[in-house]
Structure 1
Amino acid sequence: VGLGNPGKGYVDTRHNTGFSCVEYVFKKWNIDVWERKRNVVIGRGVYLGEEVVLCKPRTYMNNSGIAIDYLLRRFGCSACDIVIIYDDMNLPLGTIRLRRTGGSGGQNGVGSVIEALGSDIFNRIKVGIGSHPLEQEPVEYVLSPFTESEKQSLIETIIPKVGDALESLITDGMEFSMNRFN
Structure 2
Amino acid sequence: MYIIAGLGNPGTQYMGTRHNAGFSVIDALADQYNISVDTQKHKGMIGKGMIEGEKVILVKPMTYMNLSGECIREVMDYYKADIDDLIVIFDDISLEPGKLRLRAKGSAGGHNGIKSIIAQLGSDRFKRVKFGVGDKPKGWDLADWVLGKFPADLYDTLRDANQRACEAVACIMTEGITGAMNKFNG
Q: CA deviation at 1:112?
A: 0.3
Corresponding residue for residue 31 of structure 1: 35
- 1:104-140: per-residue Cα shift (whole Å, max 9, x none)? 1111000001111101110000001010000211111
Within-5 A mapping of 1:7-156: 7-33=11-37, 35-37=39-41, 39-155=43-159
Q: 1:162 aligns with which of 158, 162, 165?
A: 165
* Aligned 8 A contact 1:34 1:44 in 2: no
Q: CA deviation at 1:151?
A: 2.5
Q: Which runs of 4+ in 1 moved over 3 A?
A: none
Q: Secondary structure at the match of 1:134?
A: coil
* Aligned 8 A contact 1:18 1:86 in 2: yes
CA distance in 1, matches of 2:50, 2:42: 24
Q: CA deviation at 1:43?
A: 0.6
CA distance in 1, matches of 2:182, 2:42: 38
**AA at the equivalent of 1:180:** K
Normalised TM-score (structure 2): 0.94
**AA at the equivalent of 1:17:** A
CA distance in 1, matches of 2:183, 2:110: 26
CA distance in 2, matches of 1:21, 1:33: 12
Q: CA deviation at 1:38?
A: 5.9
Q: CA deviation at 1:30?
A: 0.8
Normalised TM-score (structure 1): 0.96
Q: Secondary structure at the match of 2:95?
A: coil
Q: Name structure 1 gaps, 5 residues minimum.
A: none
CA distance in 1, matches of 2:150, 2:162: 14
* Aligned 8 A contact 1:38 1:58 in 2: no
Q: Secondary structure at the match of 1:119?
A: coil
CA distance in 2, matches of 1:100, 1:49: 22
Q: Name structure 2 gaps, 5 residues minimum.
A: none
CA distance in 2, matches of 1:48, 1:138: 37
Q: CA deviation at 1:150?
A: 1.6
CA distance in 2, matches of 1:109, 1:46: 26
CA distance in 1, matches of 2:147, 2:85: 29
Identity %: 39
